[in-house]
Chain A
Amino acid sequence: MSFRIDQLPKKKYVVPGNAACAGCGMMIGLKILGMALGEEAVLSIPASCAAVVQGLTPKSGVAMPILNVPFASAAAVATGIAEAYRMLGVKGHAVVWAGDGGTADIGFGTVSGAAERNSNIIYVMYDNEAYMNTGIQRSSSTPRAAWTTTTPTGKHERKKDVALLMAMHGVPYVATASIAYPQDFYRKLKRASEIQGFKFIHLHAPCPPGWRYDPAKTVEIAKLAVETGAWILWEYDNGQLKLNPPSTVYVDRAKRKPLKEYLKLQGRFAHLTDNDVKMLEEEIEAKWQTVLALAKAFPQRL
């Protein structure tokens, strides 16, 4: 499936009056969600930046139906909506739009439960790699070494790989995506909407205040995450795992940009030594080997 950005739907689903920070990566993702599923989606949004930036009751800056729900509950609430629609004969998609804290940490039980039941929902975890809404506290999805207010000398633990964990539930569809590659994310949302059962998209979404960078650089940084290999675009579709472009190119380590180019733009990594960077590069390479091994283990059928 290929298409041009100028051929995407023109209707705007993120409208003036929203309260997002300048350069918000998540909001770019929400725009693409609107383009892909704006007329079909009913959103469940747990406590998160996404809950706050909608704007203030009784108004809203997001032109999609939204049910705001308790922090840990979104996957279960969406299950209820999906089942209600099935029984009532209403067409549409129950979509969760949740952050990394609401997914990888407090909401992981309900996400795992919905995945195991194969509930008919599309779950998008926008990953800005910390609790940004409460003011930059570490989550299990914060990368190793990143500064947050609760890891003042850098996080000591590695990032939880939620997308791989979801794929290992054996659900019909799991993908990673990045706000820097809207066509890829758009296509993945469309693909997810064709599939019955549990769909999970892990969306990498930089955060200017949380990652400490110039708000003009959101897309550049998201792109660098992919070009340095720090964020890998892949797709697990009905038992087959494959890399997606442009990540396919970066299987070859030599083609990746130096990780430093990604890290140096971000204040959260300002304290890193060259040794720290080297260690992160090795961890990234190990992740590549894991993904490639899984691609081999779950090959495309001819």
Chain B
Amino acid sequence: MKTLTIQKTALTGNYAVAYATKMAKPHVIAAYPITPQTSIVEKLAEFVEKGELNTSFVNVESEFAAMSVVYGAAMAGARAFTATSSHGLLYMYEATWWTALSRAPVVMAVVTRTIGPPWNIHVEHNDILTLRDAGWIIAMAETVQETFDLTLQAFRIAESAALPTAVGVDGFVLSHSTEPVEMPPQEVVDKYLPPRRPDVPMLLRPGEPVTFGNLPSDNKIHARHKVAAVYEAQQEAKKVISQADEEYGRLTGRRYGGLVEWYRAGDAKHIVVCAGAWCSDAKHAVDYLRARGVPVGLMRIRFVRPFPREEVAKLDQYETAVVYDRDITPMGGILGLEVKAALSRARVVNIVAGIAGVDFDSRHFYETIQNAIDGGYRDLVFVV
């Protein structure tokens, strides 16, 4: 009998994405460099050159082309992957919307980075969050292990939900930090990821005349398509994500809880809300405050889309929700606004911090959590 071995190793976040992608065996990869994403496609190129990965590795001339290539590949029935950051994502923006409204199951790693000017390669979440209205599924990893796991799950989620899926990996904090990672045996991955169905969202084959995307005879056809693709498909994806998490847990022993992860929240009076790598720092702050008798817990948003509305609604049972945003809009933080919109009773304090890569560690977290609980902040505060 063949023994299946779990490989334990140490990887950067970017290499974790590359190894997971390799195990997912995509047919087509589009590659274009941008810091801090570049080492993902470099590692994948190395796998291809060594003969460890049989894929069509397409070096493109822009991020817009990268998204267009994986879009075409996915519409033709292939499993397709690309990766980008910041300005690269903005440059491919039109194609990201077209991909989502076509329900093309593309997987993309977004190594989050500040949007300029000035040029700044450090972490911020504004880039990946520009996908929030486009119909993409958006996951945010906390650790390198979760980066690996989410990347694998993203293929299954994208193909089951027929929606493109982005995996957010905090630039440098995760992408270039080395952590221990467990990789499941290839056989387990193959079991977890069934072959790509070529007829989703449509079968595009020579000799079979079918037209996709021409003008609607009635705008209502288009409107219904939009409701289905942008809203209903996201609701249905919640079940897909939860199943993907459960099945992954059964096969690998690692379950994360689906759309959100709760941390010491059961008996808390106050709750911290955040997404991405800095949630680890926030958890340390929660531990620190707990040790000093402050009844605080944490909800980590793992999926920004579909938005975990049902889970967020539960925050109304807490006195204070302190929502951290590593992004900024003219209305405040994106998560702050979205959480607030789902609540009616809890006091929400939105803390916009860590933008432009400004360091924000566990000490900053416990000081600002404490201050928010004590009523030291109004509903929106910028820590820069």
Q: Is B77 an interface residue (CB 8 A)?
A: yes
Minimum CB–CB distance for B260 against chain A, Å: 34
State the majority secondary structure of interface residues on B: mixed
CB distance from A40 to the nearest CB of B (A): 5
B80 in contact (CB, < 8 A): yes
Residue of A nearest to B62 (CB): A109
Are A57 and B214 in contact, with the CB atoms below 8 A? Answer: yes
A83 touches B56 (CB 8 A): yes
Partner-binding segment picked from B65-73, B144-152, B180-188, B312-320? B65-73
By the criterion CB–CB under 8 Å, are A110 and B209 in contact? no
Bound state CA distance, A86 and B61, in angstroms?
21
Which residues of B157-212 are within 8 A (CB) of A? 198, 204-212
B59 at the A/B interface (Cβ < 8 Å)?
yes
B205 touches A42 (CB 8 A): yes
Complex: A134 Cα to B44 Cα, angstroms: 42
Contact B214 A56 (CB under 8 A): yes
Give the CA-CA distance A3 to B68 in the complex, in Å.
38
Q: Once the chains bind, are B98 and A69 in contact (CB under 8 Å)? A: yes
CA distance A98 to B347 in the complex (A): 55
Interface contact B72-A84, CB-CB below 8 Å: yes
Question: Which chain A residues (46-68) contact chain B, with CB distance < 8 Å?
Answer: 51-52, 54-60, 62-68
A77 touches B204 (CB 8 A): no
Q: Contact at B69–A51, with CB atoms within 8 Å?
A: no
Smallest distance from the beta carbon of A214 to chain B beta carbons, Å?
27
Residue contact B206 to A93, C-beta cutoff 8 Å: yes
Partner pick for B60 among A52, A57, A78, A113, CB 8 A cutoff: A113
Whether A88 lies near B206 (C-beta < 8 A) is: no
CA distance A44 to B322 in the complex (A): 48
Q: Is A39 touching B207 in the complex (CB atoms < 8 A)?
A: yes
Interfacial residues of chain A within 222-246, with CB under 8 A of chain B in the complex? none
Query: Is B27 on the interface with A (CB-CB < 8 A)?
Result: yes
A43 vs B170: C-alpha distance when bound (angstroms): 38
Evaluate whether A57 and B217 lie within 8 angstroms (CB atoms) in the complex, with A42-B204, A69-B98, A87-B27 already known: yes
Residues of B within 8 A of A68 (CB): 211-214
> Please, how many residues of chain A have a CB less than 8 angstroms from a CB on the other chain?
50
- The reply to whether A80 and B217 contact each other, CB–CB distance below 8 Å, is no
In the complex the two chains form, what is the Cα distance from A54 to B213 in whole Å? Answer: 10
Which residues on the A side are within 8 Å of B76 (C-beta)?
Answer: 42, 80-81, 84-85, 88, 90
Q: Tell me if B206 and A42 are in contact (CB < 8 A).
A: yes
B202-238 residues at the A interface, CB under 8 angstroms: 204-217, 221-222
Chain B interfacial residues counted at CB < 8 A: 45
Partner of A73, one of B68, B207, B209, B212: B68
Tell whether, in the assembled complex, residue A80 and residue B28 are in contact, meaning their CB atoms are under 8 Å apart. yes
Interface positions, chain B 8-56, Cβ under 8 Å from A, are: 27-28, 30, 55-56
Task: Please state if B75 and A81 are interface contacts (CB–CB under 8 Å).
Answer: yes
Whether a CB of chain B sits under 8 angstroms from the CB of A152 is no
The interface residues of chain A lying within 8 Å CB-to-CB of B204 are 42, 65, 67, 81
Cα separation A81 to B28 with both chains bound (whole Å)? 10
List chain A residues, Cβ under 8 A from B213.
Answer: 66-69
A70-B95, A73-B71 as given contacts; A91 in contact with B78, CB under 8 Å: no
Residues from chain B with Cβ under 8 Å of A69 in the complex: 68, 71-72, 98, 213
Q: Which chain A residue has the least Cβ–Cβ distance from B210? A: A65
The residue in A63, A67, A70, A80 that gathers the most chain B C-beta atoms within 10 A of its C-beta is A80
Q: Shortest distance in angstroms between B380's beta carbon and chain A's nearest beta carbon?
A: 36
Q: Is the CB of B94 within 8 A of A70?
A: yes
Given A67-B204, A80-B76, 8 other A-B contacts at CB below 8 A? A57-B217, A59-B217, A65-B205, A80-B78, A81-B73, A110-B64, A110-B65, A113-B60
Interchain Cβ contacts under 8 Å between A and B, 14 examples:
A54-B214, A56-B214, A56-B215, A57-B217, A65-B210, A67-B213, A70-B98, A76-B65, A79-B72, A83-B58, A84-B56, A84-B80, A109-B64, A110-B68
Closest 5 CB pairs of A and B: A80-B72, A68-B213, A113-B61, A92-B206, A76-B68
